[in-house]
Structures are given as structure tokens and as C-alpha cells.
Structure 1
Amino acid sequence: MNKFALGAVASTLTFAFAIEAAATEWNVSVWGKRRAFTEHVEKLAELVSEKTNGEFTMNISYGGLSKNRENLDGISIGAFEMAQFCAGYHRDKNRVVTVLELPFLGVENLAQEVAVSKAVYAHPAAAEEMEQWNAKLLMTSPMPQYNLVGTGDPRATLADFEGMRVRATGGIGNAFKAVGGVPTSVTATEAYQAMESGVVDTVAFAQHAHLSFGTINQADWWTANLNPGTVNCPVVANIDAYEDLSDAHREALDSSIDEALDHYLANYGELLKKWDSVLEEKGVAKVEIDEAVLAEFRATAADPIRDAWIKDMEAQGLPGQELYDLVVKTLADAKSGS
């Protein structure tokens, strides 16, 4: 083989090794099964792969890498590069974002939920707290207001909530506790069994989760307008993995986040359109709570829980009042279109 041929072979091998070295593969830990709640993660993986011609890929694992309560711990030790978790699973580890789980904030739709989440995630206190877990906040998993499914007679008054065993986490759990309920924070994947075995009487979920985890199949009724709040479930990346990305791969990831969220919102919107037909198909009664009951619920739960949260955060050296005010202002701006 002449020196020109040898040179060509060497160049080809060098190019091949460069391509191989440039490839990035991330493992992503979520749970359950693919559903509306994970569509932005799926879309993000799709967009990143497209933008990098397959050089940056994400392997999304539904429960194969970690338990859902342990995803943040897995991120902190670099067991995987990206994960989804819910603040209510470990409130002590992600105190800042729990402002988004306060009951009766007044969020009316998913776009507003995205707006307030983005504002809080961008606050220095949120980034600083997540750095303790080697985690970078990428995007939220916006969910509608939670509502209850239950068995037996509908719970339509505050007196009905007295002693009610409810699967509810975070601020929603605190809201039910304030009116005499007994919240339990079993994970989403445990909710069906808890309902089936009678450990809980009711389950508070967003619509997709009632479908995905089967609680709707146990239900006799669903509260259409209780709307006590929702949970906040960030998607995070391991900071070291994020910083190790090439400039091109990091740009592909960063530029895909809003696209992935837009896809999520459109997909969830289709699910919400079909919700009434799902209830009818499964024989689940729609319960409309009287406005006077809702007002009483808000008065009993919202103000005291908010004030206690702010006081607790400030005592821990976190800007509780500032974070709450940020949510209120961002929500007002979102509602006014400014």
C-alpha cells in the first residue's frame, strides 16, 4: 500500500474515532409508563437526536434506573444524566420549588403553570438549592389542578372531608389536612393498590395520572372543580454531565426545551378534551362542588398554609416571601398577557 493510500486510511480512521468520541449518550430516569406526563421528555430526546444527527441520544427508562423517590439522589451521584421527580416526594431536598405546590394559587391552565414554574426555576435560590444535588433545573412537567376520585358516596362538603383518607402530597395534602382529611403520600405507582386495598378512600391526581395509574377504574365519582392545587415535577440534568456537553450538543438541548414543552401542552390539551367521554365510558359521576364550599375550603386552607410556608422558609434562610410574591406577580402577568 503506497503512502497516499495509508494516509487516506489513517484519515478515515481518525475521522471515525472523532465521530465516535463526539457521540453523547444520556440515561434518563422516569417512572410508570409513557404518558402525557412524560411527553416532553420523549420529545426532548427526539429533538436533540434530530438536531445532532444522532450524535446526542437519550435512553429513557421507565423505572429501570431508580425508584421515583430516589431520582434526585441518583442525579446527585451521577447514576444517570437526566431525571424527572416530584417535589412532594422529598420536600426537604427541594424546598424552593414547593412554593409552586401551595394550595389555591389561582393557576387556571397549563400555560400559566409553565410561566410560574419558569420564573421560580430561574430564581437564584432555586439554582443554588439544586446545586447541592448536582442538579440543573431544565424544565417543569406542567399539570392541571388536581382533583379527587373516590368510591362510595361523593365527598361534596367540608364535613365529608373529615377523616377522609386521601392520597395527596405536598401543599394539596396539607390543604386536605387543614379540613380534617388524612393525607398519605404513597407514590403514584402505589396509588391504585392503596385505593383497591382500602388504605385510602380517595386519590388526588391530575387527569393523565388517574388514567395512567388506573385509579379512574376504581372510581365511582370525580370532583370536577375542587382544584386545590397541583404538584411540581421538575426535569433535571446532572450538572457535570451538562457541563461536559460540547457547545453544539448543549445548544441542541437548550434550544429544544421550549419546543418540548409546547408539544407537551398540545398533547395534554387533547387529553383534556376527551376527559368527559372517559368519565362517561367508565361510569364515573362528575361531582361539582358548590362555590360556597370552595370558598370555605380556600379560607381554611390557603392563607394559613401559605403564611406557615413563608415563615418556615424564612426561618431556614430562604426567601419565602420573595418567592411567593414572584409567583403572584408572574401569574398576574400571565393572566393579563403582559
Structure 2
Amino acid sequence: MNILKRTCIAGAVAACGLAGGVTAATAENVLKLASFVPPVYILHEPIFEKLAADLNEATGGSTTIEIYPSGELGKGPVEQYKRAVSRIAEISYGLPGYTSSIFPKTLLIELPGVTQGHEDATAKLWKVMDAHLRDEFKKTVPLALFVTPPAVLMMTEKPIRGLDDLAGLKIRVASSSAAAVIEAYGATPVPMPANKVYTAMSTGVVDGALMGSDSLLIFKLIETTKYVTTNLPEMPTTIFLVANEEAYNELSDADRAALDSLTGLDISQRSAAGLAKFGEIALGKFAGMDGTETIVLSDEARAAFDAAATDAVTSLVADFDANGMNASQILADMKN
């Protein structure tokens, strides 16, 4: 009996039960969903639990999802994609930026000048999915692919009011795309998973972080941040929900069609919208705290950031093209 195909019997409901009250007692197919964030995470109930409940209903209980939050199937968000590939989990939630070398095409969406808001960015990812991105998801099937709110700079001690303020500072980034831009801004990029940023900021390992505003609350960075700078050139962070390809193909045609109907662009847009709304809440809460400051870049300051970002993107895309990735065409297809 393979990992996917198993029948839960009475008395084993505790082991096979689903978060959100969905029972797997009569399920033939149980898909383990690995998440590195806790159940209080903003998307846990409206995305993970809802997908589990909807799939249970759509398949008449023959295929269900067990949610394993907080890294229960393995610690460390960097390994989330590997967990799906190796079938430690049939479904995994994570960031392609943590394994940037696998997803250079997908991460083009994070470059400045490509997107205008979370809805636009998510739509562009799915617009080019079949033509350009799907082949990067080897041994997996993308169920959701979306972005965080545009990144802001969260700083511990030094306010960022202009490009020169970043000179020599160490800034956390999530991906190679973000690293190239931060380096063009004059700072030193420090790649790091989100769950390590709180400690890194608290101990001075980094001077700040480039992250979506939702991270102020999700990862409690509101406690380590004194200054937030907004109106930067737009750079979202990409997030995936993927299924192991073998497990996906083992589903019956009807159950696979049910899963397909519940995933894709719609669940991606709902996920992005949820994070964007939470990002607004986080910025509002931060602004109301004593001893903090939200900085909105002036038009003049923003122009300097834009110029540096444009130079970085031009150089990065040229390198990609020279190495045969045809990044120029992918970006054109995203935008047109």
C-alpha cells in the first residue's frame, strides 16, 4: 500500500482526522499537507482548512487532506519544496525563493517594474504558467501560486528615507531576485527564511528586512521594527502550494478533477487577497505604536530607488538571456 492510498478505520480517526472537523474515517486517499506556519496563520483556516473541507465534500469523502502545521512533518521552511518532491507530504506550502536556483523563471515576478499589486502579480503568474513556469515545478503540480503584499523595509535602528541611507547595511531577503536589487541599492543582501528574521533583527545579524507588510504580524516583526519604509519599487514575494506529482496522478480521474476545480487561479487570488488585507492591518497597528515611524518615500527619493532597480533588472535579465532562459520573453508575456 503506497503512502497516498490508505483506509482509515474506526478508532484511528485521531490519526487520520482533519483540521477544521473534516473526518477522514472513510477516506481511501489521504493527502498530507505540510505547512511551516502555525494554525493561527492568517491563511490556515480560509485556505488550508477550506480546501480540505471542500475536497472532502467534492469527492464524497474518498479523498481528504490532513493538515500538519508548524513544521510537524519536518522543521525548516527551506525544505518545504523538497518535502513535496520526496513525498514526505503529498501537499506542501512554501516559498520558491528559498530554493531560488530551481525557480528562476517564477521569481521574475518579484522584480521591480513587473507588477502592480498582489492581484495583478498573481494573475500574471497564472497567465504564463503553462507556457513558461510549469516545467520548473518538477515532480510536483502547482495548486496555488501567489504573492505577498509588496515588500517594505523594516528597520531596527536606522530610518530609510533615501537610497544613500541603505549604504553598507545588511538587509534580509527571501530570494536571489530580491538580493540582486538590494545589492543595487547599496546594501548587503542576507538570504534568510522568514522564521529566522525575528532573531536576526533582535541580535543585530541584520539591520533590517525586505518583506511583505503582513510579516509584521505573522512573524512578530512588529516587536523588532522601529522604522518601516513604504513606496518602494514594487517587489512581492512568491508563495506556492504544490502537490507531489505521483500522488496527484494516483487519484481517480473524478477526484483529480475535483482537486483541479478547487485549485489554480481562484485559490491563489483568495490567498493573495488574504495576505494583502492582513498587511494593511499590520501597517495600521504599527503606525499606532509609540516610538515607531512609517516613512513614505518622497517622489524624489522614489526616483532614485527606481533608477537603481531598473539598472539591476536590466543587468539580471541580460544575464538570464545570455544563459538561455529567455527572461525577456517571459517578462514580455507576463506584462502583455
Same fold per superposition (TM over 0.5): yes
Cα offset, 1:108, TM superposition: 2.6
TM-superposed CA distance for 1:265, in Å, is 4.6
Deviation track 1:56-91 (CA, whole Å, cap 9, x = no partner) reads 221222212232111222222222111122122111
Q: Which residue number corresponds to residue 63 of structure 2?
A: 56
The alpha-carbon deviation at position 289 of structure 1 amounts to 0.8
Relative to structure 1, is the Cα distance of residues 259 and 327 closer, same or farther in structure 2, using a 3 angstrom cutoff? closer
- Whether the aligned pair in 2 keeps the contact of 1:30 and 1:61 (CA below 8 Å) is yes
Identity of aligned residues (%): 23
The answer (yes or no) to whether the contact 2:80–2:92 under 8 Å persists in 1 is yes
TM-score (norm 2): 0.83
TM-score by length of 1: 0.83
What residue number does 1:113 align with?
Answer: 121
Q: Provide the residue aligned with 2:149 in structure 1.
A: 144
SS where residue 45 of structure 1 aligns? Answer: helix
Counterparts in 2 of 1:203-242, with a 5 A limit?
A: 203-242=209-248
Structure 2: distance between partners of 1:148 and 1:225? 10
Residues 1:196 and 2:202 are matched in the alignment: yes
What's 1:325 paired with?
Answer: 332
Q: 1:178 to 1:29 in 2, by over 3 A?
A: same
Cα shift at 1:214: 1.1
**Matched residue, 1:300:** 308
Q: Which of 315-324 and 85-94 deviates more? A: 315-324
Distance 2:245 2:261 in 1: 17
Deviation of the 1:182 alpha carbon: 0.9
Deviation, structure 1 residue 122: 2.3
1:23 to 28, 47, 64: 28
Please give the per-residue CA displacement for 1:114-168, whole angstroms capped at 9, x wherever unaligned: 1111123222x4222322xx11222213211000111224111111010111111
Residue type matched to 2:329 in 1?
A: E
Identify the range of structure 1 (53-62 vs 155-164) with the bigger mean alpha-carbon deviation: 53-62
Once residues 58 and 195 of structure 2 are traced to their aligned partners in structure 1, the CA distance between those partners, rounded to angstroms, is 34
CA offset digits 1:203-256 (Å, max 9, x no partner): 121122221111111111211322440121222111111111112211221111
1:37 CA displacement = 5.1
Structure 2: gaps (5+ residues): 1-23
Larger radius of gyration: 1
Distance 1:24 1:276 in 2: 42
Deviation at 1:36, TM superposition (A): 3.0
Residues in 1 aligned to 2:330 and 2:270: alpha-carbon distance in whole angstroms: 28
Query: Helix, strand or coil for the counterpart of 2:128?
Result: helix
Amino acid at match of 2:316: W
Report if the CA contact (8 A) 1:162-1:179 is conserved: yes
Q: Secondary structure at the match of 2:102?
A: coil
Query: Relative contact order (alpha carbons < 8 A, sep ≥ 6): 1 or 2 greater?
Result: 1
Structure with a larger share of its residues in helix: 1
SS class of match (1:152):
coil
3-state SS of paired residue (1:159): helix
Alignment CA distance shift 1:24-1:231 (3 Å): same
| CA positional deviation for 1:269 | 5.0
